[in-house]
């Protein structure tokens, strides 16, 4: 039998619930507890608009190692050691030598690298007297096994060209 998991209560929600219970208390109880002069409790009908963020110290106490790495509070060794290198035979693009890219920048860097391939294939086709029929870029993502972050793991550019057709005389459909 599966039992439901108790949802984590934020500090803001606990504060709001305590505030509501104080509002419901009788004036005698409030006077006894020293809350009679707190007028700001009377106007709190709605919960706070944003939750109070946990401090890093309480997060470290509450979260497991993987969650700490995902939030950037601990360093992930797998992400730190990840290297990117171009596997194509095109010598004029970046990342011919392996280099590190942070997970936050990997998407932009891989897209820029694949755009280099697109432009070089277009210019190569033009120099050979061919025309580009279709080009596509695929971006691949993966999940880090250590911290669980999603990162861009690579890309692939595909270009289809054909020989230019000789320009024929335009057809006159009204003749």
Give me the pLDDT at residue 175, please: 64
pLDDT mean over 117-142: 94
Tokens of 32: 């006894």
CA 129 remoteness from chain centre: 41
Residue 60 inside a domain? The answer is: no
With 80 as the cut, is the pLDDT of residue 150 above it?
yes
Give me the pLDDT at residue 132, please: 93
The backbone region for 27, taken as left when phi is positive above 0, alpha when psi lies in -120 to 50, beta otherwise, is alpha
| CB of 133 closer than 8 Å to CB of 55 | no
Give me the pLDDT at residue 54, please: 54
Helix, strand or coil for residue 158? strand
Residue 33 inside a domain? The answer is: no
Residue 42 inside a domain? The answer is: no
Give me the pLDDT at residue 114, please: 93
For 160, the domain range is 76-164
| CB of 41 closer than 8 Å to CB of 22 | yes
> What pLDDT digit, counting tens, does each position of 17-39 carry?
777 776 666 666 656 665 555 54
**What are the angstrom distances between the C-alpha of 104 and each of 109, 130, 153, 170, 174?**
10, 38, 12, 52, 60
Q: How many structural domains are present in the chain?
A: 1
Residue 47 inside a domain? The answer is: no
Residue 174 inside a domain? The answer is: no
Give me the pLDDT at residue 118, please: 94
With 70 as the cut, is the pLDDT of residue 61 above it?
no
Residue 1 inside a domain? The answer is: no
pTM of the predicted model, to two decimals?
A: 0.57
Residue 27 inside a domain? The answer is: no
> What pLDDT digit, counting tens, does each position of 69-111 carry?
777 778 888 888 999 998 888 888 888 888 998 888 999 999 9
Residue 152 inside a domain? The answer is: yes
Which residues, at least 6 apart from 47, have a Cβ–Cβ distance to it below 8 Å?
Answer: 12, 13, 16
């Amino acid at each position: 039998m599966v039992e439901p998991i108790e949802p984590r209560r934020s500090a803001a929600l606990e504060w709001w619930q305590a505030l509501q219970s104080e509002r419901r208390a009788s004036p005698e109880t409030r006077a006894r507890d020293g809350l009679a002069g707190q007028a700001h409790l009377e106007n709190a009908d709605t919960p706070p608009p944003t939750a109070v963020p946990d401090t890093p110290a309480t997060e470290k106490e509450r979260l497991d190692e993987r969650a700490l790495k995902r939030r950037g509070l601990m360093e992930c060794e797998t992400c730190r050691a990840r290297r990117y290198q171009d596997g194509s035979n095109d010598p004029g693009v970046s990342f011919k030598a392996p280099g590190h890219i942070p997970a936050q920048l990997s998407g932009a860097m891989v897209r820029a690298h694949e755009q280099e391939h697109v432009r070089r294939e277009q210019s190569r086709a033009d120099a050979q007297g061919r025309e580009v029929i279709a080009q596509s870029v695929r971006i691949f993502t993966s999940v880090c096994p250590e911290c669980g972050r999603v990162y861009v793991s690579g890309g692939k550019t595909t270009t289809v060209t054909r020989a230019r057709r000789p320009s024929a005389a335009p057809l006159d459909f009204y003749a």
